[in-house]
């Protein structure tokens, strides 16, 4: 009897396969086949984050067009250097680099990146108007021309445990002083029911990781108040560093103070470590990129529907760039303030963007553009950003305005609205702080700021020494690259064209 059933089922399955083949012919390389034989080599960070989804989409693209998209991976710390070396020396083994948007300025400055304006002019599917203004006008463009395609929208937000704060009668913090206050009140409570004391705050502080992004998020609301074009790093004209002042001084101290309510080994924790703690339900407050939202609904998460997001905390006092002192917020000093609090959400990292090698062959460049456009289009990206493992965060208005995809992915309606609301508030903020987008960005922040911050956190030096060292080193880097050229590029990166 059993054998007869098995045979029957096999016949049914075979019939379905045959019928399927007739009714739905398979999508093959020759769906249109105009890229048959074309190979596009992409280099990005190790997967599955970022790279994994490119591989998936590459298979779909091959079926549609015949183009073979090969994805190679390099360690994050060596990624930019490999791309720059390959393109500058004319090796051209890489057709597309997927990296932090801020790094691209150096490549454009070296005339190594393909200008995408002509491609965009012929592309009726990418729908640029749907891309949030910050990413469309700041991240993708240099000197008014588009050189990059955004695949991921990055900036940091504050996450808080809705259940823990509600149980303690607390509101989400609006300033960094309030952050410390809330963290101190919930620190040591059991937040995931395992009987162990958990942490009031989780912010990565490891050297050579992401701590230099976090400190900029803390400092931005004190340093910048006049809008995105003010910038948080240099005086526009003189290119003198805007770092050795009371605003950064206070920010360093606040950042260090958050460690009092964090895990004991926070100094050696990077983003992966703190994310593990947040998703494991061990943190009351945390700052992170948009990834926590999708990660909160994944299997094993202890914080599903228990995590809220708000814009990064702000400040009631801001830097007077002339004196280097902090002054109270008023209508003149903080024109974008809400209830006397100046917010400046920091576009940390700027997101993963793709650039096409100018030295690649014409056919490869066109195929590369079409593939990147395919990934960027709403039909694909609106799905990708809802999956935590992809590493992609929202950057299109349609991703933020429609909660349906997020609810389908597993969010509750309330959680989706809260999460997307925080992103929208940050993304549309007129005082959003832009990340470093000039040559040497890696040296200014990834090396110098990161190292001096680490030394200060470790107690090796005082905050004053740290800021003096940063100022001196930044001046050296600026002189090395050329002060005038750097000043011009800095102004351009902030959208100042006159």
Q: Which is nearer to another protein, 34 or 451 (CB)?
A: 451
Cβ of residue 477: shortest distance to another protein, in angstroms? Answer: 9
Q: Which is nearer to another protein, 257 or 341 (CB)?
A: 257
- Rg of the chain in Å (alpha carbons): 24
Angstrom distances, CA of residue 41 to CA of 86, 118, 362, 364: 12, 21, 14, 9
Q: Which is nearer to another protein, 137 or 485 (CB)?
A: 485
When binding is defined by CB under 8 A, the residue of 31, 39, 55, 88 that contacts another protein is: 88
Residues 183 to 212 in contact with another protein, rule: CB under 8 A: 206-209
Residue window 429-448: x/- pattern of binding to another protein, with contact defined by CB under 8 A = -------------xx--xx-
Cβ of residue 63: shortest distance to another protein, in angstroms? Answer: 36
- The interface region with another protein, picked from 10-18, 27-35, 259-267, 414-422 by CB under 8 A, is 259-267
397 binds another protein (CB under 8 A): no
Cβ of residue 356: shortest distance to another protein, in angstroms? Answer: 14
When binding is defined by CB under 8 A, the residue of 267, 302, 341, 405 that contacts another protein is: 267
When binding is defined by CB under 8 A, the residue of 460, 462, 484, 496 that contacts another protein is: 460
When binding is defined by CB under 8 A, the residue of 14, 28, 30, 81 that contacts another protein is: 81
Cβ of residue 371: shortest distance to another protein, in angstroms? Answer: 24
DSSP 8-state code for residue 139: I
Residue window 146-165: x/- pattern of binding to another protein, with contact defined by CB under 8 A = --------------------
Q: Which residues of 95-123 are buried (b: 16+ CB within 10 A; e: fewer)?
A: bbbbbbbbbbbbbbbeebbbebeebbeeb
When binding is defined by CB under 8 A, the residue of 109, 335, 340, 361 that contacts another protein is: 109
Q: Could you tell me how many residues of this chain bind another protein (CB under 8 A)? A: 43
Residues 303 to 362 in contact with another protein, rule: CB under 8 A: 358
3-state secondary structure of 158: strand
Q: Which residues of 318-352 are buried (b: 16+ CB within 10 A; e: fewer)?
A: bbebeeeebeebeeebbebbeeebbbbbbbbbbbb
When binding is defined by CB under 8 A, the residue of 59, 78, 194, 484 that contacts another protein is: 78
110 binds another protein (CB under 8 A): yes
Residue 156: exposure state from Cβ atoms within 10 A (0-12, 13-18, ≥19): buried
When binding is defined by CB under 8 A, the residue of 25, 26, 90, 195 that contacts another protein is: 90
Angstrom distances, CA of residue 412 to CA of 315, 383, 388: 32, 17, 15
Angstrom distances, CA of residue 190 to CA of 200, 239, 260, 298: 10, 49, 17, 22
112 binds another protein (CB under 8 A): yes
Cβ of residue 160: shortest distance to another protein, in angstroms? Answer: 22
Q: How far apart are CA 64 and CA 34, in angstroms?
A: 9
Evaluated on CA atoms 102, 107, 113, 115, the torsion sign reads: positive
The structure tokens 């190594």 sit at 112
As beta bridge partners, residue 398 has none
Cβ of residue 76: shortest distance to another protein, in angstroms? Answer: 10
Cβ of residue 282: shortest distance to another protein, in angstroms? Answer: 9
Closest by Cα among 191, 158, 192 to 174: 158
Residue window 358-377: x/- pattern of binding to another protein, with contact defined by CB under 8 A = x-------------------
Evaluated on CA atoms 87, 93, 96, 97, the torsion sign reads: negative
Q: Which is nearer to another protein, 106 or 317 (CB)?
A: 106
Evaluated on CA atoms 472, 477, 480, 485, the torsion sign reads: negative
Instruction: Name every residue whose Cβ is closer than 8 Å to that of residue 174 and which is 6 or more positions away in sequence.
Output: 313, 314, 339, 341
Residues 466 to 495 in contact with another protein, rule: CB under 8 A: 469, 472-473, 476, 480
Cβ of residue 78: shortest distance to another protein, in angstroms? Answer: 6
Q: Point out which residues bind another protein (CB under 8 A).
A: 77-78, 81, 84-85, 88-90, 109-112, 206-209, 263-268, 276-277, 358, 442-443, 446-447, 451, 454-461, 469, 472-473, 476, 480
């Amino acid at each position: 009897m059993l054998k007869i059933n098995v045979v029957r089922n096999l016949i049914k399955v075979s019939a379905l396969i045959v019928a399927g083949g007739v009714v739905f012919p398979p999508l093959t390389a020759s769906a249109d086949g105009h890229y048959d034989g074309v190979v596009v080599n992409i280099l990005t960070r190790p997967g599955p984050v970022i790279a994994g989804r490119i591989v998936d989409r590459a298979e779909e693209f091959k079926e549609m067009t015949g183009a073979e998209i090969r994805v190679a991976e390099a360690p994050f710390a060596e990624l930019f250097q490999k791309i720059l070396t390959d393109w500058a020396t004319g090796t051209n083994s890489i057709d597309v680099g997927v990296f932090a948007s801020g790094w691209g300025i150096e490549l454009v400055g070296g005339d190594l990146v393909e200008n995408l304006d002509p491609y965009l002019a012929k592309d009726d599917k990418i729908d640029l108007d749907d891309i949030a203004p910050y990413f469309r006008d700041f991240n993708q463009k240099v000197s008014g021309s588009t050189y990059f395609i955004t695949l991921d929208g990055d900036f940091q937000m504050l996450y808080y445990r809705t259940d823990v704060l509600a149980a303690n009668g607390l509101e989400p913090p609006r300033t960094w002083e309030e952050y410390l206050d809330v963290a101190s009140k919930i620190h040591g409570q059991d937040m995931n029911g395992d009987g162990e004391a958990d942490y009031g705050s989780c912010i990565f502080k490891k050297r050579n990781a992401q701590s230099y992004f976090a400190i900029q998020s803390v400092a931005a609301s004190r340093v910048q108040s006049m809008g995105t074009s003010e910038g948080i790093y240099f005086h526009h004209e003189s290119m003198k560093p805007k770092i050795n002042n009371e605003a950064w001084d206070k920010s360093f101290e606040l950042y260090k103070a958050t460690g009092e309510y964090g895990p004991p080994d926070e100094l050696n924790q990077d983003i992966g470590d703190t994310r593990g703690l947040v998703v494991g339900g061990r943190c009351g407050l945390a700052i992170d990129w948009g990834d926590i939202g999708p990660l909160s609904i994944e299997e094993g998460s202890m914080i599903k529907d228990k995590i809220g997001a708000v814009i990064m905390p702000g400040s009631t006092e801001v830097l007077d760039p002339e004196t280097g002192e902090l002054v109270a917020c008023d209508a003149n000093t903080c024109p974008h303030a809400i209830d006397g609090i100046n917010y400046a959400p920091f576009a940390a990292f700027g997101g993963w963007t793709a650039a096409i090698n100018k030295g690649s062959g014409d056919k490869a460049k066109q195929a590369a553009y079409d593939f990147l456009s395919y990934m960027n289009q709403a039909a694909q990206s609106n799905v990708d950003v809802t999956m935590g493992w992809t590493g992609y965060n929202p950057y299109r208005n349609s991703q933020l305005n429609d909660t349906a995809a997020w609810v389908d992915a597993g969010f509750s309606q309330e959680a989706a609205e809260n999460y997307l609301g925080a992103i929208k508030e940050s993304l549309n903020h007129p005082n959003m702080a832009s990340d470093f987008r000039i040559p040497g960005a890696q040296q200014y922040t990834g090396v110098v700021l990161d190292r001096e911050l680490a030394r200060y956190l470790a107690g090796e030096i005082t905050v004053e020494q740290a800021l003096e060292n940063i100022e001196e080193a930044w001046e050296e880097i600026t002189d090395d690259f050329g002060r005038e050229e750097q000043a011009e590029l800095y102004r351009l990166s902030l959208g100042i064209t006159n």
